Amino acid sequence: MTARNPLTELDRPNSYIGRAVPRPNLTRLLRGRGQYVSDMTLPRMGHVVFVRSPYAHARILGIDTAEAEAMPGVIAVVTGKRLAEVCTPWVGVLSHLKGLKSAPQHAIAVDRACWQGEAVCAVVAETRALAEDAAERVFVNYEELEPVTDMVAALQPDATVIHPELGDNLAFERNLDAGEVDKAFAEADAVAEAEFVFGRHTGVTLEPRSIIGDWNPGEERLTVHQGTQAPHMMQNIIAKHLDLEEAQVRVICHDVGGSFGIKVHVYADEMATVALSKLLRRPVKFVADRIESFTTDIHARDHRCKGRIAVKADGTITAFAIDDMTAIGPYSMYPRTSAIEANQVVNLVGGPYTNMNYRARARVVFQNKNVTCQYRAVGHPIACSVTEGLVDLAARAIGMDPAEIRRKNLIPDDAYPTASASGLKFEALSHHASLDKLLKMMNYDALRAEQAELRKKGIHRGIGIASFIEVTNPSAAFYGVGGARISSQDGVAVRLDATGRIIVQTSITEQGQGSEAITAQVTAHALGVPMERVRVILGDTDNTPYGGGTWASRAAGIGGEAAWQAGKALKANILAVAASILQADAATLDVVNAIVVDKATGTERMPLEEVGRIAYFRPDTLPPGFQAELMTVRHFVPREYPFAFTNGIQASWLEVDTDTGFVTLLKHWCLEDCGTIINPQLVDEQIRGGVVQGIGPALYEHCRYDERGQLTNASMADYLVPMAAEMPDIEIGHVVSPTKESELGAKGAGEAGTAGAAAAVANAVNDALSPFDVTITEIPLTPEVILKALGKV
């Protein structure tokens, strides 16, 4: 820390909240000593490979497994019908998403495959290679059925209905009408409209999905090693569908090679893997290969959203209207459902602005492509791109600067608490402070001048701005109220051991974002001990309190507060023990640097190891009737607000080559308000990583299907992601508006970058192309898309 005068909170000993300390778990990862599920080998472990449907839609007439069973090293060949005897199907619906419907999905397809890549048979062998050899000798007799691939055609009366028992291909529809929309459009000085098209893309976690099921018939217990974000949710689901008690299932989450929402869902092939372990009474491991990742990891987005905006000549936005359609594959995912993204789009469009006239329709459609579900920033990139794209169109229609129209319409910083047109409750946001800071950070006026100069030389640079709000710290409103057994609260247990060290068990999980670090920071800060003394245990349903895990930007805000409260409670208990030994008033004592001191003078009284020694080995010396409690547990869930909204604003500065259609990113800024910042470096890196995951689908990432439902670019060579050479440096700034729901005041930061990046980039491209009078509202913005819009191809 740089020296300051007067001393700040951070200059006190053991002050870790707000400090950019390195993560304690990095050394093992840096030395190649991490343990990912894909690294693990258990005795007698079999490897499963799935035979997958080559068709998007096909009836399974018969499966001949005889040759495969005779292949070297084969342990078992199991069809969907056989596996259904040990694993029941599921239906991905939630009761609060009224009308949402889906069909029963089996771990392995039983008589029909509904997307290219759906598993139709499992081969378990001694090695992955032998299982792959044998899988080639499984002969499946298919009758190809008409695939439903186009989302608009899927709703036509003559469309093939994928699940006839459901009546049609419409999984879910939501309508919202707030204020006086028709009146606002009728009285507008200008109306702008566009159809925004969002390609399908996916998470591409560098470690593919990995799971080991280990059924021990002697213990009648199933241990599951899984790269997952939600161990307790998985425990519940696995028990439910394998006819076990939850107590018979233990889920352990080791190091995870990237998640981003991909690893928070229940995958059919992973359920099949644990079911096979139970069936075969031995450990069975599944690691997706890269083609399987592309064809079966959940995809996201794939929206077509028509949007309209009404604006007055003075820049006042008077209405938003959207009609969104999204295609989700043949099943709604389990248990979080595939309707959440569209629902979020309805909730979030127009969210940063004061306008209260808003109409929305969202339709969620079945099709014969891979399933889609919640991926980092669920719905936010859609809502933000539609909103911010429309705001720029409105600004252009009335000849106003994009920054100015936002200043005119963003909710004032002194208006809180308030609510959006869609009914979202906002506790405290900072749109205007964020906008001001962003414009200063990027030197907006100078950049505009530079842009104008370069334009004279035929160099087309653009500035794109995107305000956003982000859902974080979700309460039970997300899933619990809909009947899903997904915990919205988290728990933390903190213990002083006999050598004065601290052991923390938390129900949040670590996938690299820094859960372990911030838990250690908060606990050490609460207790008054050096962070090096704290060891954090997470990701094990046998050894942590019950809780939700890590998703929807919740770990720091919810798990962090539980750690803070548990740490404070343990400190009080430690002081009670020390006071009884020292015959002092606990209120006069404190803990500093792991030593009990006199609060007033700082005089050292006894180190924590002495407190531990006496409490554990010489409790006979403590006063009669006094029981030392050197382990405390606290749980936390926000109660007043369903979600702690955060806000921010991003800007992109880029150059478009109008001859080649290539976009060169020059700089990106993100100003963000996540409340109290526990670790500035970790927050900034979450945002940078999130921005790049938002830039990817804006420019490169796209799961390209053909009209028969075949994924045509299911390899890393064909599906492009951002690489080091194409990415710009990203400047981050903060405004801090802590939530009053917790003492810590932290909100989430993991998805903010992803929420607004694509909108900023798309607006910048359109800004760069403004001399050509074209507006592109489709992503990814490939050279082909740009050249087409320019009429050059």
Residue nearer to other proteins on the CB measure, 258 or 530: 258
Contact string 267-306 vs other proteins (x = CB under 8 A): ----------------------xx----------------
Residue nearer to other proteins on the CB measure, 103 or 665: 665
Q: Does 43 bind other proteins (CB under 8 A)?
A: no
* Maximum Cα–Cα distance across the chain: 89
Alpha helices in 136-264 (DSSP H): 151-154, 181-186, 231-241
Residue nearer to other proteins on the CB measure, 294 or 636: 294
Smallest distance from other proteins to CB 602, Å:
31
**Neighbouring residues of 710: CB distance < 8 A, sequence distance ≥ 6:** 56, 116
Smallest distance from other proteins to CB 143, Å:
32
Single-letter amino acid code for the residue at 22: P
Task: Measure the CA angle with vertex 296, ends 290 and 297; round to 5°.
Answer: 80
In terms of Cα–Cα distance, which of 81, 73, 66, 63 is closest to 132? 73
Residue nearer to other proteins on the CB measure, 38 or 420: 38
Smallest distance from other proteins to CB 30, Å:
4
Q: Give the number of residues in contact with other proteins, rule: CB under 8 A.
A: 59
Ranges within 119-138 binding other proteins (CB under 8 A): 127, 129, 133
Residue 687 token pair: 């945002």
Ranges within 441-470 binding other proteins (CB under 8 A): none
* Piece in contact with other proteins (CB under 8 A), picked from 35-43, 379-387, 562-570, 575-583: 35-43
Cα separations in angstroms, 681 against 513, 644, 732, 733: 11, 22, 10, 12
Residue nearer to other proteins on the CB measure, 470 or 516: 516
Q: Which helix (H) or strand (E) holds 527?
A: helix 515-527
Ranges within 658-697 binding other proteins (CB under 8 A): 681-682, 685, 688-693
Smallest distance from other proteins to CB 701, Å:
11
Residue 53 token pair: 């449907």
Smallest distance from other proteins to CB 353, Å:
28
Q: What DSSP string runs through 419-458?
A: E-TT--EES---HHHHHHHHHHHHTHHHHHHHHHHHHHTT
Residue nearer to other proteins on the CB measure, 133 or 590: 133
Residue nearer to other proteins on the CB measure, 681 or 770: 681
Cα(122)–Cα(115) distance, integer angstroms? 17
Cα(539)–Cα(386) distance, integer angstroms? 37
Contact string 697-736 vs other proteins (x = CB under 8 A): ------------------xxx---xxxxxxx-xx------
Assess contact for 105 and 334: CB atoms under 8 A.
Answer: yes
Cβ neighbours, 10 Å, residue 180: 14
Single-letter amino acid code for the residue at 453: E
Cα separations in angstroms, 65 against 49, 74, 123, 136, 274: 14, 11, 9, 10, 21
Smallest distance from other proteins to CB 548, Å:
20
DSSP 52: E
Residue nearer to other proteins on the CB measure, 35 or 95: 35
Q: What are φ and ψ of residue 301, in 5° steps?
A: 65, -125
In terms of Cα–Cα distance, which of 8, 20, 12 is closest to 521? 20
Cβ neighbours, 10 Å, residue 28: 12
Ranges within 744-773 binding other proteins (CB under 8 A): 753
Ranges within 7-26 binding other proteins (CB under 8 A): 22-23, 26
One residue of 402, 512, 539, 548 binding other proteins per CB under 8 A: 512
Smallest distance from other proteins to CB 730, Å:
6
Contact string 597-636 vs other proteins (x = CB under 8 A): ----------------------------------------
In terms of Cα–Cα distance, which of 19, 174, 96, 205 is closest to 474? 96
Ranges within 192-211 binding other proteins (CB under 8 A): 203-208
What's the alpha-carbon Rg for the chain, to the nearest Å? 28
Q: Does 511 bind other proteins (CB under 8 A)?
A: yes
3-class DSSP assignment, residue 393: helix
Smallest distance from other proteins to CB 659, Å:
22
Residue nearer to other proteins on the CB measure, 146 or 289: 289
Strand partners, 325: 304, 363
Assess contact for 210 and 236: CB atoms under 8 A.
Answer: no
Residue nearer to other proteins on the CB measure, 46 or 500: 46
* Piece in contact with other proteins (CB under 8 A), picked from 311-319, 449-457, 511-519, 782-790: 511-519
**Neighbouring residues of 685: CB distance < 8 A, sequence distance ≥ 6:** none
* Piece in contact with other proteins (CB under 8 A), picked from 33-41, 336-344, 383-391, 524-532: 33-41
Q: Does 39 bind other proteins (CB under 8 A)?
A: yes
End-to-end CA distance of the chain: 56
Smallest distance from other proteins to CB 389, Å:
23
One residue of 10, 11, 13, 35 binding other proteins per CB under 8 A: 35
One residue of 8, 11, 27, 784 binding other proteins per CB under 8 A: 27
Single-letter amino acid code for the residue at 623: P
Residue 122 token pair: 């499992």
Residue nearer to other proteins on the CB measure, 43 or 623: 43
Contact string 241-270 vs other proteins (x = CB under 8 A): --------------xxxxxx----------
Smallest distance from other proteins to CB 241, Å:
28
Cβ neighbours, 10 Å, residue 446: 9
Q: Residues for the chain: how many in total?
A: 793
One residue of 72, 99, 602, 771 binding other proteins per CB under 8 A: 72
3-class DSSP assignment, residue 329: coil
Assess contact for 86 and 242: CB atoms under 8 A.
Answer: yes
Residue nearer to other proteins on the CB measure, 376 or 380: 376
CB half-sphere exposure, 668, CA atoms < 13 A: 28
Residue nearer to other proteins on the CB measure, 56 or 695: 695
Q: Can you give the binding site for other proteins, defined by CB under 8 A? A: 22-23, 26-27, 29-36, 38-39, 41, 72, 127, 129, 133, 203-208, 255-260, 289-290, 511-514, 681-682, 685, 688-693, 715-717, 721-727, 729-730, 753
